[in-house]
């Protein structure tokens, strides 16, 4: 039997996918934001959190008191970002917020983490875009290099360990780690 005869029919029909899955106005906003993010947002001013809050808010982000975003953070859609009071997104974080991303009060997303609020429906041949929200509760620590997948909720006072891959909801007050992330213990809170 020839290898060509043994092939399965191709399910995905990428020639039929939506070429422009967003409204035209959103492409214009994205272009303007990309220009700002590549220039004035990235100025290497130490601890210039108010400067970056100004630009994020100008593009529709909802930011609480003293919310801090590092200059090397990449935010795809600032108008879909909400941060609570005293929360922090560190250097090198990617906020791939095709859908809404909400970060509660006093929460930290450490360096090089990836918040992915977008995917495709792989069960349909045209792979339509899904813009599933991510919700990170109050008092949460997302450690360095962690990946938070689409539609995930991380409960209050939880910790996501370094390089963890979180594809399911995390209950409040636990520490998760690994790939896939699993609960390894309750978060012990002293003081």
What does the alpha-carbon distance between residue 59 and residue 67 come to, in Å, rounded to a whole number? 15
Round to whole Å and give the CA distance between 73 and 87. 14
Dist CA 117 CA 84 (whole Å): 18
Tell whether 11 is covered by a domain.
no
Question: What pLDDT is attached to residue 5?
Answer: 64
- Does residue 15 fall inside a structural domain? no
> For residue 4, what pLDDT is reported?
61
Displacement of CA 160 from its chain's centroid (Å) = 14
Residue 162 counted as domain residue: yes
Domain for residue 9, yes or no?
no
CATH number at residue 43: 2.160.10.10
- 145 lies in a domain? yes
Q: What is the pLDDT of residue 3?
A: 60
Q: 38 lies in a domain?
A: yes
Tens-binned pLDDT, residue by residue, of the chain (191 aa)? 456 667 889 999 988 888 888 889 999 999 999 999 999 999 988 889 999 999 999 999 999 999 999 999 999 999 999 999 999 999 999 999 999 999 999 999 999 999 999 999 999 999 999 999 999 999 999 999 999 999 999 999 999 999 999 999 999 999 999 999 999 999 998 87
* Number of separate domains in the chain: 1
Confidence at residue 6, expressed as pLDDT on a 0 to 100 scale? 77
The answer to whether position 14 is within a domain reads no
For residue 6, tell me if it sits in a domain: no
The domain of 56 spans 22-186
This prediction's pTM:
0.93
């Amino acid at each position: 039997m020839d290898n060509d005869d043994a092939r399965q029919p191709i399910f995905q029909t990428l020639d039929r996918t939506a070429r422009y899955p967003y409204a035209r106005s959103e492409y214009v906003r994205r272009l303007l934001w990309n220009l700002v993010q590549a220039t004035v947002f990235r100025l290497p001013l130490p601890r210039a959190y108010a400067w970056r809050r100004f630009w994020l808010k100008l593009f529709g982000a909802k930011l609480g008191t003293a919310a801090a975003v590092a200059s090397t953070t990449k935010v795809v859609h600032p108008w879909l970002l909400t941060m609570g009071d005293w929360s922090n997104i560190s250097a090198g974080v990617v906020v791939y917020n095709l859908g809404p991303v909400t970060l509660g009060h006093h929460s930290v997303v450490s360096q090089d983490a990836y918040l992915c609020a977008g995917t495709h429906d792989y069960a349909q041949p045209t792979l339509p875009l899904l813009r599933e929200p991510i919700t990170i509760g109050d008092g949460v620590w997302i450690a360095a290099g962690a990946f938070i997948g689409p539609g995930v909720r991380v409960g209050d006072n939880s910790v996501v360990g370094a390089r963890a891959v979180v594809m399911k909801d995390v209950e409040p007050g636990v520490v998760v780690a690994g790939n896939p992330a699993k609960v390894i213990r309750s978060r012990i809170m002293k003081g």
